[in-house]
């Protein structure tokens, strides 16, 4: 198992683990976190991922009695990371994504957005992050593919994971959690706008996103949810910045920052059980949103909207939220595409926003998903 993280321009590579903590059986979920604590106590680093479906087992109301084909938890135990800068391969991949298809057609998508608006109208939820899946075939080298995508659209929280059974290519712009001693930071992302075609239209696009009422409402709703979640863990809960807009190659995205002070030696289980999965990938209120997501979505999310990163022996940690993330198994690939649905959302608007988010990948193919 190999784990590469490129978070905030710091490159860490974890190779040749002593052993792997893997969980596909919910009955062993708590034991896996006990193993995590024992492994950290022995001085090992842990690097890998936690899948979205792990969130069902932090909450009794969401518990599902089933065996999983894809791991809920997959963390390698390492003596430490290599900190030298890793240069990307110079080759350009000769292969492109093939046979792109969505797991839903526009008619069904339209109906599902209507169901979500019904839930909102009844007061069940304020927002649902609803996700669909893009499937395709990829026959080339996954590492070359990862660097091709990264070089096309650099992001601050990218990661690559290689195992004997699957590869994960995460081109994520979103931070889930960063803990340094007692200081905890999360940066929920909500709000998307297309880039402009010129210098002035591009600047105007950023400003339109920053002051758009719908996107600001979505963003602050999730920032409040994160403040509540972090409030279960510690004190001095703050939101030092709201509505920051970052520009990427194909789109602009809005992020807020939420911080807290926590016990330096807080258990990893307590930390994750309070905040995982991030409210930015569920909606609000979180538990009810996850129940509705489970009813509506056609596929398990797996790594998509879970967490990828590492934990040091002193309990410092750094995890992204794996959006814009591709899972490849036996040349078959999938990528989740999601967006926050609120009362003002329209099926056409959300469909187009999802396609915009996926453009960094779909631009490599001639496939069109216009309604």
Q: Which residues are catalytic?
A: 174, 190
Residues 6+ apart with CB under 8 A from 21: 32, 35, 36, 39, 46, 73, 74, 75, 76, 77
Q: What are phi and psi of 182, to 5 degrees?
A: -100, 0
Q: Report whether 342 contacts 156 (CB < 8 A).
A: no
For tokens 């496939």, what's the residue? 367
Report the length, in residues, of the chain.
Answer: 371
Residues 6+ apart with CB under 8 A from 34: none
Q: Report whether 261 contacts 183 (CB < 8 A).
A: yes
C-alpha dihedral (21, 27, 33, 34), degrees to nearest 10 = -100
SS3 of 60, please?
A: helix
């Amino acid at each position: 198992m190999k784990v590469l993280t490129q978070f905030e321009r710091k490159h860490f590579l974890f190779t040749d683990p002593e052993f792997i903590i893997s969980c596909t059986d919910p009955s062993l979920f708590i034991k896996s976190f006990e193993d995590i604590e024992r492994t950290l106590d022995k001085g090992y680093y842990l690097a890998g991922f936690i899948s979205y479906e792990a969130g069902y087992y932090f909450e009794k109301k969401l518990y599902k009695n089933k065996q999983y084909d894809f791991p809920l938890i997959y963390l390698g135990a390492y003596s430490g990371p290599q900190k030298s800068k890793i240069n990307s391969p110079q080759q350009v991949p000769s292969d492109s994504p093939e046979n792109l298809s969505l797991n839903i057609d526009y008619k069904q998508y339209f109906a599902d957005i209507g169901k979500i608006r019904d839930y909102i109208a009844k007061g069940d939820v304020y927002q649902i992050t609803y996700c669909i899946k893009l499937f395709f075939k990829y026959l080339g080298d996954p590492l070359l593919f990862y660097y091709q995508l990264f070089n096309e659209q650099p992001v601050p929280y990218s990661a690559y994971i290689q195992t004997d059974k699957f590869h994960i290519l995460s081109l994520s712009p979103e931070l889930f959690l960063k803990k340094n001693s007692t200081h905890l930071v999360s940066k929920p992302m909500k709000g998307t706008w297309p880039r402009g075609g010129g210098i002035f239209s591009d600047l105007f696009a950023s400003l339109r996103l920053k002051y758009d009422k719908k996107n600001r409402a979505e963003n602050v709703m999730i920032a409040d949810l994160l403040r509540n979640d972090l409030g279960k863990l510690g004190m001095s809960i703050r939101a030092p910045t709201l509505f920051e807009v970052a520009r990427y190659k194909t789109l602009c995205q809005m992020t807020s920052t939420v911080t807290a002070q926590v016990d330096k030696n807080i258990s990893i289980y307590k930390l994750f059980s309070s905040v995982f999965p991030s409210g930015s990938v569920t909606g609000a209120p979180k538990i009810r949103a996850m129940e509705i997501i489970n009813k509506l979505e056609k596929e398990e999310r797996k790594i998509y909207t879970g967490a990828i990163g590492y934990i040091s022996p002193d309990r410092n940690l750094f995890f992204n939220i794996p959006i814009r993330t591709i899972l490849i198994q036996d040349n078959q690939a999938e990528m989740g595409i999601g967006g926050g649905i609120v009362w003002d959302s329209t099926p056409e608007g959300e469909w187009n926003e999802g396609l915009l988010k996926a453009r960094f990948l779909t631009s490599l193919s001639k496939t069109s998903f216009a309604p």
